[in-house]
Structure 1
Amino acid sequence: MDRMIGVIGGSGIYEIAGLSEASWQRLETPFGAPSDEILTGFLDGIRMAFLPRHGRGHVHTPTTVPYRANIAAMKMIGVTDLVAVSAVGSLREAYAPGDFVVVDQYIDRTFAREKTFFGEGMVGHVPFAHPTCARLSEVCTAAGRGLGLTLHTGGTYVAMEGPQFSTLAESRLYRSWGADVIGMTGMPEAKLAREAELCYACVAMVTDYDCWHPDHDAVDVAQVVATAMKNADKARALVAALPGLLQDGAAPCPCGCSRALDGAIMTAPGKRSAEMAARLAPIMARVLKG
């Protein structure tokens, strides 16, 4: 299978410029419709797919984003490498507004979202100690550094439910845990990408210091949007640099992302739900054959 780069864009990122043969496609998945149509095309000879996480015009809240449909749609359209671009708040002095962070760990504090494709009649558990793809993260880092961006390699992302921003007590708690950035959409996106055997990397755009900062008592939407818009061109340039760094074909991922379902399904073949198997087939056909 040929390589295809997927991009899920967060606040301020609603398209990819420069695609040839570009068109918006409407998809339906076994988990419903994704956030929006998917923009597909070619960039430097590599197939690309782009999905605005909140929908064009920002119509989905962090909780109501159809995460399962989004990841399923990316898998179904042929994506092999998925890059998430997300706006985040900083929990560290060194991660300043305007900086970029290539995330490598998560703390999941969300509680009102469907977090797995599996369910009754098809139980599965995928490894998740390292929730992002190191190879794809390195490519994102190289793209950012090549553009001269202020970019931090590695960081722990606290995923909160929202839509409200943190209290001061929460912000201080997350800092005490060693977390670096905070956002509202990193989970369950990364978990679902692993179940779909997609290589997944997160490029986080720092829009503000969270309310822990003495010079930054409160976070407001205007501030977040203003910084996100300033960073949007940089984020799009980073995305545009990816095809040139991923020209090596779609070889099996050395991190094991493309084989994450090996041994993951616990339900005995004779006990598996035919309905669940049919629902999962577009995402997990490799391990459900026969």
Structure 2
Amino acid sequence: MSVRIAIIGGTGVYDPNILDNIRDEKVSTAYGEVGMKIGDYQGKSVAFLNRHGVGHSVPPHLVNYRANIAALKELGVKSIFATAAVGSLNRNMAPGHFVFSDQFLDFTKVRKNTFFEGGEQGVVHIDMTDPYCPELRKVLTSAAEDLGLTYHRYGTYVTCEGPRFETPAEIKMYQLLGGDLVGMTSVPEVVLAREKEMCYANISMVTNYAAGISPTKLTHQEVLDVMAENAGNLKKLAMKAISLIDPERGCLCQEALERLNKE
């Protein structure tokens, strides 16, 4: 059975046991070998990729994003649901809420963020007008509605380098620029997925208000605690979304390079 759907698990979302008939898979790519688990859900084959490795051993700025995305492409994946724990810059987006981002701001610094570095790959300027697949975001909205979860269908995800948390001054700047959420993983994942012509949707769970907004100093344990409290809802949301999509669905995201070449 072809693997057309993938979940990229972020902080606190390491539970492939939501799948049946689970097997371990290792995929070799030009950027490194990637381990993941593949299982079945309602007759659909799903890949579960642990972004930060076993025991959260890989910090966000050192994740091998290119290998991860290339491995999913190698499997034949068309649709990616990527989970993330985020801080909120928007008081309307409270801890425990879900946000299906539609835009991002990129403040990363040292990451390999493209497959196209000249040479044999050439130079490609990929369109990112709608970075997060609009169709998958509609599916997530429908899933959240069906489950009665509190969600926001729009949000601008500010991706920071990490692994440190942000200063209050940085948070204020991000707010002024229109940011709603702050996290450390969405870029370059979302960009690489578009370069590989895969649909990518972000499922952000707000775990805290960001520095300068939160009344307390931030800790990673706070993030883990809120994720643990809401892990059940996150799993239900992801699996409900998977139940709603056709694994063989087509989309403009899956024609990104073809459309680029026609312009």
Q: TM-score when scaled to structure 1?
A: 0.86
1-structure distance, mates of 2:76, 2:153: 28
In the TM superposition, what are the counterparts of 1:74-93 in structure 2 within 5 Å?
Answer: 74-93=72-91
2:89–2:171 CA contact under 8 A, matched in 1? yes
2:3–2:46 CA contact under 8 A, matched in 1? no
Which residue of the partner structure matches residue 110 of structure 2? 112
Runs of 4+ in structure 1 displaced over 3 angstroms?
Answer: 263-266
Report SS of the residue matched to 1:51. Answer: strand
Report SS of the residue matched to 1:55. Answer: coil
Which residue of the partner structure matches residue 144 of structure 2? 144
2-structure distance, mates of 1:241, 1:251: 16
Normalized per residue, which structure has more strand? Answer: 2
Deviation at 1:29, TM superposition (A): 0.7
Deviation at 1:231, TM superposition (A): 1.7
Deviations 1:200-251 (A, max 9, x none): 10000100000121x524211111110111121111111111232013x523
Which residue of the partner structure matches residue 26 of structure 1? 26
Which residue of the partner structure matches residue 60 of structure 2? 62
Normalized per residue, which structure has more helix? Answer: 2
**Corresponding pairs, count:** 260
Q: 1:57 to 1:149 in 2, by over 3 A?
A: same
Which residue of the partner structure matches residue 163 of structure 1? 163
Which residue identity lines up with residue 259 of structure 1 in the other structure? E
Which residue of the partner structure matches residue 44 of structure 2? 46
Q: CA RMSD in A?
A: 1.7
2-structure distance, mates of 1:229, 1:20: 22
Which residue of the partner structure matches residue 255 of structure 2? 259
Which residue identity lines up with residue 79 of structure 1 in the other structure? V
Deviation at 1:12, TM superposition (A): 0.3
Gaps of 5+ in 1: 267-290
2-structure distance, mates of 1:88, 1:19: 25
Deviation at 1:61, TM superposition (A): 0.5
Which residue of the partner structure matches residue 123 of structure 1? 123
Report SS of the residue matched to 1:103. Answer: coil
Gaps of 5+ in 2: none
Which residue identity lines up with residue 64 of structure 2 in the other structure? P
Deviation at 1:2, TM superposition (A): 6.0
Report SS of the residue matched to 2:200. Answer: strand
Deviation at 1:33, TM superposition (A): 2.2
Deviation at 1:264, TM superposition (A): 4.1
Identity, in percent, stands at 40
1:15–1:52 CA contact under 8 A, matched in 2? no
Q: TM-score when scaled to structure 2?
A: 0.94
2:101–2:156 CA contact under 8 A, matched in 1? yes
Deviations 1:153-209 (A, max 9, x none): 110000000111011100111111111000000100000000010001000010000
2-structure distance, mates of 1:145, 1:84: 19
